[in-house]
Structure 1
């Protein structure tokens, strides 16, 4: 079943459990109500059998220690590259995204395209207790996975755990959210729209593609983001992007050998 070209709101999903377990079934039924999707009892049927029988793009599988979206690709929450990036920050190295945002420890950040939250996690760590991050995710399934992961991650890194607790996940589209916000509400507004081309080394990002929101970031979106931002707007794109240059950024930043670059608009006070 090819869902690469489907809209994220057209994806057909149901929820089930990894096994017939009373606790897991109760959790799955509650999640089905929360997401307004169908709960399917396993009844010894395989995941592929359920997907084919109900013509599903994905099954949301509730396990005892994890939640997984299983379709042609498999997606589960993990801090991914955020952990080594935080480690490098702790060693005194610079992070290109943090540099592009111009962050200071007490800033507030609006991440308009949260995804699985790796960039938000790095920003939250850098901001510390005085700062905060709000993440918007248009796909209710990605938003659910990320919120679940932030709330249930059980790693040993206390700095990561603390940073996770300071991220607020909202299942909203930035096109709807930005116009509702007051002027200068956030220090930095950040956008990381789905890349035009898949990145070969980013399996986690590529697994998001069938579920992601593909709205264009237009000049009007940047104008609205600048209204909401107190200091700057930052958009991440791959090096080969042809769209971002048309948005006339004030300047461009990024790591010397990185496959991504950061388009930056300063807020004129």
Structure 2
């Protein structure tokens, strides 16, 4: 399950910190990195710069940034609700498996909810995304929020702490879940990437290009039910037939939201 697409990897400056970061990426499993290329060759590029890491493919550019997670955490610290936390019912000290990491938005909110006594295992099938998110978590404190408001600073501090609770693992989630002991995790969460990205979702489109678009497998859900102590949660499009196909009971709410959450209580 190696990424077959060759990716040209480079740094913008020849300094020790960036070169060490480049070496770290080259050691990550599953990626097909190229350190040299001819001028005529067109291929995706991973650029490691002093301002961050960027994956470019044609006109699309992807980078790790906890933007939506930060907005959600600001609202949570203000006492507002979050539908993901309503669905997962995570509490301090819980263990969570996020079986479809993506760029880690929900994993960060989950890590904040379980706190320092809890744990989050985040599985990502794309080796490129797994490496980028792990690198982003490793260098979280280097991301400086533009807004210096008190709300944002408080949320940023809380999220920086939460980022240390996440362990990223590259692999196929059904296979990795099969290795985990029964009744050993509180909550297992699935958020399969939308297989038909909406045109207005410009922020999702670059991520869509690198993700696995296959429907969630029934056997993966069965494995999740085997290892979960409390519940398995699925996020999907509103009115999706996936909830019924996979045996999830829809959690009603979010009248104007384009997504719903499904629950299997175990």
Question: TM-score normalised to the size of structure 1?
Answer: 0.85
Q: Which residue in 1 is equivalent to 2:108? A: 121
Q: Does 1:198 align with 2:197?
A: yes
Alignment: residue pair count: 251
2: CA distance, partners of 1:64 / 1:149: 13
2: CA distance, partners of 1:161 / 1:14: 30
Distance of aligned partners of 1:26 and 1:90 in 2 relative to their CA distance in 1, 3 Å threshold? closer
**Aligned counterparts, 1:149-160, within 5 A:** 149-154=136-141, 155=144, 156=153, 157-160=156-159
**Which of 73, 83, 87 is matched with 2:74 structurally?**
87
For the residue of structure 2 that corresponds to 1:34, the secondary structure is coil
**Aligned counterparts, 1:21-32, within 5 A:** 21-23=14-16, 24-25=18-19, 27-32=21-26
RMSD: 2.2
Q: Mean Cα displacement is larger for which, 143-152 or 203-212? A: 203-212
**Which of 34, 40, 43 is matched with 2:35 structurally?**
40
Report the Cα offset of residue 152 of structure 1: 0.7
**Aligned counterparts, 1:1-269, within 5 A:** 9-19=3-13, 21-23=14-16, 24-25=18-19, 27-35=21-29, 37-40=32-35, 53-56=40-43, 58-72=44-58, 73-154=60-141, 155=144, 156=153, 157-267=156-266
Is residue 232–residue 264 contact of structure 1 (8 Å, CA) maintained in 2? Answer: yes
**What are the ranges of 5 or more consecutive residues in structure 1 without an aligned counterpart?**
1-6, 42-49
Report the Cα offset of residue 252 of structure 1: 2.7
2: CA distance, partners of 1:147 / 1:9: 17
Distance of aligned partners of 1:251 and 1:242 in 2 relative to their CA distance in 1, 3 Å threshold? closer
2: CA distance, partners of 1:110 / 1:77: 20
For the residue of structure 2 that corresponds to 1:113, the secondary structure is coil
Is residue 251–residue 265 contact of structure 1 (8 Å, CA) maintained in 2? Answer: no
For the residue of structure 2 that corresponds to 1:15, the secondary structure is strand
2: CA distance, partners of 1:244 / 1:53: 47
Distance of aligned partners of 1:8 and 1:237 in 2 relative to their CA distance in 1, 3 Å threshold? farther
For the residue of structure 1 that corresponds to 2:257, the secondary structure is coil
Is residue 186–residue 231 contact of structure 2 (8 Å, CA) maintained in 1? Answer: yes
Q: Mean Cα displacement is larger for which, 182-191 or 220-229? A: 220-229
For the residue of structure 2 that corresponds to 1:180, the secondary structure is coil
Report the Cα offset of residue 64 of structure 1: 1.6
Is residue 104–residue 127 contact of structure 1 (8 Å, CA) maintained in 2? Answer: yes
1: CA distance, partners of 2:93 / 2:104: 20
Q: Mean Cα displacement is larger for which, 108-117 or 8-17? A: 8-17
Deviations along 1:205-230, one digit per CA (max 9) or x if unpaired, are 22111111223213322111100111
Deviations along 1:242-268, one digit per CA (max 9) or x if unpaired, are 33321221343442221111011110x
Question: TM-score normalised to the size of structure 2?
Answer: 0.86
Is residue 188–residue 233 contact of structure 2 (8 Å, CA) maintained in 1? Answer: yes
